[in-house]
Amino acid sequence: MFDKINLKEVFSLPFRIYFSVLVGLGLLLFLPSGIIGKLYLDEFLNKYGIYVGFAFIILFSIVVFSIIGKIFILIKNKYSNYKFNRNKDKVLEGLNPNEKAILYLFYKSETNTLYLPYNDGLVAKLRSFFIITPTTNSIITGNLNNPRFPFMMQPWVHGYIDKNYNEYFKGIDLNEEELYGILQNFSTSELY
Protein backbone atom coordinates (compact mmCIF):
# COMPACT_ATOMS: atom_id res chain seq x y z
CA MET A 1 0.00 0.00 0.00
CA PHE A 2 2.72 2.51 0.97
CA ASP A 3 5.30 1.41 -1.63
CA LYS A 4 3.56 3.47 -4.35
CA ILE A 5 3.46 6.71 -2.32
CA ASN A 6 6.22 9.15 -3.20
CA LEU A 7 7.00 10.95 0.07
CA LYS A 8 8.72 13.82 -1.74
CA GLU A 9 5.47 14.61 -3.54
CA VAL A 10 3.47 14.30 -0.32
CA PHE A 11 5.67 16.82 1.51
CA SER A 12 5.61 19.27 -1.41
CA LEU A 13 1.82 19.61 -1.40
CA PRO A 14 0.41 23.10 -0.78
CA PHE A 15 -0.50 24.07 2.77
CA ARG A 16 -4.23 24.33 1.99
CA ILE A 17 -4.29 20.63 1.01
CA TYR A 18 -2.76 19.63 4.35
CA PHE A 19 -5.21 21.84 6.19
CA SER A 20 -8.21 20.47 4.28
CA VAL A 21 -7.22 16.86 4.95
CA LEU A 22 -6.53 17.72 8.60
CA VAL A 23 -10.03 19.17 9.00
CA GLY A 24 -11.56 16.10 7.33
CA LEU A 25 -9.62 13.70 9.54
CA GLY A 26 -10.45 15.77 12.61
CA LEU A 27 -14.15 15.62 11.81
CA LEU A 28 -13.90 11.90 11.22
CA LEU A 29 -12.23 11.38 14.60
CA PHE A 30 -14.13 13.84 16.77
CA LEU A 31 -17.71 13.85 15.45
CA PRO A 32 -20.22 12.12 17.72
CA SER A 33 -20.87 8.46 16.90
CA GLY A 34 -24.49 9.27 15.95
CA ILE A 35 -23.36 11.51 13.09
CA ILE A 36 -20.66 9.01 12.07
CA GLY A 37 -23.36 6.32 11.94
CA LYS A 38 -25.61 8.47 9.75
CA LEU A 39 -22.69 8.98 7.36
CA TYR A 40 -22.13 5.18 7.32
CA LEU A 41 -18.52 5.65 8.41
CA ASP A 42 -18.63 3.67 11.65
CA GLU A 43 -17.44 0.45 10.00
CA PHE A 44 -14.66 2.35 8.21
CA LEU A 45 -13.51 3.89 11.51
CA ASN A 46 -13.58 0.51 13.25
CA LYS A 47 -11.42 -1.00 10.52
CA TYR A 48 -9.02 1.91 9.77
CA GLY A 49 -9.33 4.09 12.88
CA ILE A 50 -5.70 3.63 13.89
CA TYR A 51 -4.51 4.87 10.48
CA VAL A 52 -6.88 7.83 10.60
CA GLY A 53 -5.56 8.77 14.05
CA PHE A 54 -1.95 8.36 12.94
CA ALA A 55 -2.53 10.48 9.82
CA PHE A 56 -4.29 13.13 11.93
CA ILE A 57 -1.32 13.40 14.32
CA ILE A 58 1.20 13.61 11.45
CA LEU A 59 -0.81 16.22 9.54
CA PHE A 60 -1.47 18.21 12.70
CA SER A 61 2.29 18.35 13.32
CA ILE A 62 3.00 19.40 9.73
CA VAL A 63 0.33 22.13 9.84
CA VAL A 64 1.50 23.48 13.23
CA PHE A 65 5.15 23.60 12.15
CA SER A 66 4.20 25.17 8.82
CA ILE A 67 2.27 27.90 10.63
CA ILE A 68 5.18 28.48 13.02
CA GLY A 69 7.57 28.65 10.04
CA LYS A 70 5.38 31.14 8.19
CA ILE A 71 5.09 33.32 11.30
CA PHE A 72 8.87 33.19 11.79
CA ILE A 73 9.50 34.20 8.16
CA LEU A 74 6.95 37.02 8.44
CA ILE A 75 8.59 38.37 11.61
CA LYS A 76 12.07 38.02 10.09
CA ASN A 77 11.01 39.92 6.94
CA LYS A 78 9.37 42.67 9.01
CA TYR A 79 12.54 43.02 11.09
CA SER A 80 14.76 43.07 7.98
CA ASN A 81 12.59 45.79 6.41
CA TYR A 82 12.65 47.78 9.65
CA LYS A 83 16.44 47.48 9.88
CA PHE A 84 16.85 48.43 6.21
CA ASN A 85 14.57 51.47 6.51
CA ARG A 86 16.34 52.58 9.69
CA ASN A 87 19.81 52.42 8.10
CA LYS A 88 19.23 53.41 4.48
CA ASP A 89 19.97 57.12 5.02
CA LYS A 90 23.24 56.22 6.78
CA VAL A 91 24.22 53.98 3.88
CA LEU A 92 23.65 56.78 1.36
CA GLU A 93 25.63 59.24 3.48
CA GLY A 94 28.50 56.75 3.81
CA LEU A 95 29.10 56.40 0.08
CA ASN A 96 32.42 57.61 -1.32
CA PRO A 97 32.62 60.39 -3.95
CA ASN A 98 32.87 57.95 -6.89
CA GLU A 99 29.70 56.17 -5.80
CA LYS A 100 27.95 59.50 -5.30
CA ALA A 101 29.09 60.51 -8.78
CA ILE A 102 27.34 57.44 -10.20
CA LEU A 103 24.17 58.40 -8.32
CA TYR A 104 24.52 61.94 -9.67
CA LEU A 105 24.54 60.55 -13.21
CA PHE A 106 21.46 58.47 -12.46
CA TYR A 107 19.72 61.49 -10.98
CA LYS A 108 20.52 63.67 -13.99
CA SER A 109 19.57 61.08 -16.62
CA GLU A 110 16.13 61.50 -18.14
CA THR A 111 15.30 57.81 -18.10
CA ASN A 112 16.84 57.10 -14.68
CA THR A 113 18.76 54.28 -16.40
CA LEU A 114 22.49 53.82 -17.04
CA TYR A 115 24.44 51.03 -18.70
CA LEU A 116 27.04 50.01 -16.13
CA PRO A 117 29.63 47.22 -16.06
CA TYR A 118 28.06 44.33 -14.17
CA ASN A 119 31.38 43.07 -12.76
CA ASP A 120 32.59 46.41 -11.39
CA GLY A 121 33.15 46.70 -7.63
CA LEU A 122 31.40 50.07 -7.27
CA VAL A 123 28.36 48.76 -9.11
CA ALA A 124 28.36 45.58 -7.02
CA LYS A 125 28.46 47.64 -3.81
CA LEU A 126 25.56 49.84 -4.91
CA ARG A 127 23.65 46.72 -5.93
CA SER A 128 24.29 44.98 -2.61
CA PHE A 129 22.88 47.96 -0.69
CA PHE A 130 19.76 47.96 -2.95
CA ILE A 131 20.62 51.45 -4.18
CA ILE A 132 20.57 50.38 -7.83
CA THR A 133 19.06 47.34 -9.48
CA PRO A 134 19.44 45.76 -12.93
CA THR A 135 16.43 46.31 -15.15
CA THR A 136 16.92 43.03 -17.01
CA ASN A 137 18.42 39.60 -16.41
CA SER A 138 19.93 39.08 -19.84
CA ILE A 139 21.56 41.23 -22.47
CA ILE A 140 23.28 40.83 -25.81
CA THR A 141 26.89 41.91 -25.44
CA GLY A 142 29.99 41.83 -27.59
CA ASN A 143 32.35 41.83 -24.61
CA LEU A 144 31.80 38.91 -22.25
CA ASN A 145 34.63 40.05 -19.97
CA ASN A 146 32.95 43.38 -19.32
CA PRO A 147 29.19 43.09 -19.86
CA ARG A 148 27.22 46.28 -19.38
CA PHE A 149 23.72 45.94 -18.01
CA PRO A 150 21.04 48.62 -17.77
CA PHE A 151 20.63 49.64 -14.13
CA MET A 152 18.09 51.92 -12.52
CA MET A 153 18.27 53.87 -9.28
CA GLN A 154 15.76 52.73 -6.66
CA PRO A 155 12.84 55.14 -6.10
CA TRP A 156 13.65 55.59 -2.39
CA VAL A 157 17.15 56.82 -3.36
CA HIS A 158 15.67 59.26 -5.85
CA GLY A 159 13.30 60.57 -3.16
CA TYR A 160 16.16 60.99 -0.68
CA ILE A 161 18.23 62.91 -3.23
CA ASP A 162 15.22 65.10 -4.09
CA LYS A 163 14.99 66.16 -0.45
CA ASN A 164 18.74 66.56 0.18
CA TYR A 165 20.17 67.44 -3.25
CA ASN A 166 22.43 70.37 -2.26
CA GLU A 167 23.81 68.68 0.84
CA TYR A 168 24.22 65.25 -0.72
CA PHE A 169 26.27 66.30 -3.74
CA LYS A 170 28.18 69.03 -1.88
CA GLY A 171 31.56 67.24 -2.04
CA ILE A 172 31.37 66.52 -5.76
CA ASP A 173 33.08 69.34 -7.62
CA LEU A 174 33.04 67.75 -11.07
CA ASN A 175 31.32 69.02 -14.16
CA GLU A 176 29.13 66.84 -16.34
CA GLU A 177 31.96 65.84 -18.72
CA GLU A 178 34.19 64.69 -15.87
CA LEU A 179 31.35 62.67 -14.37
CA TYR A 180 30.67 60.93 -17.67
CA GLY A 181 34.44 60.30 -17.93
CA ILE A 182 34.27 58.48 -14.59
CA LEU A 183 31.40 56.41 -15.92
CA GLN A 184 33.32 55.44 -19.07
CA ASN A 185 36.52 54.57 -17.18
CA PHE A 186 35.13 52.01 -14.75
CA SER A 187 37.77 49.55 -13.67
CA THR A 188 36.97 45.97 -14.55
CA SER A 189 39.21 42.97 -14.24
CA GLU A 190 40.22 41.27 -17.45
CA LEU A 191 39.66 37.54 -17.66
CA TYR A 192 42.30 35.55 -19.51
Helix intervals (H) in 31-164: 33-38, 42-93, 97-108, 121-128, 155-163
| Residue 43: how many other CB atoms lie within 10 Å | 10
> Distances in Å between the alpha carbon of 187 and those of 17, 23, 155?
53, 61, 27
One domain, residues 170 and 104: yes
Beta carbons of 131 and 153 less than 8 angstroms apart: yes
pLDDT < 50 positions in the chain: 1, 187-192
- 53 in the same domain as 124: no
Q: Assess whether 31 and 77 both reside in one domain.
A: yes
Check residue 78 and give its pLDDT: 96
Q: What's this model's pTM, rounded to 2 decimal places?
A: 0.61
Tell me what pLDDT residue 73 has.
96
pLDDT for the residue numbered 77? 96
Q: What is the pLDDT of residue 173?
A: 63
Q: Are residues 30 and 109 in the same domain?
A: no
- Strands 132-134 and 148-153, by their bridges, are antiparallel
Domain boundary (86, 102, 131) is at: 86
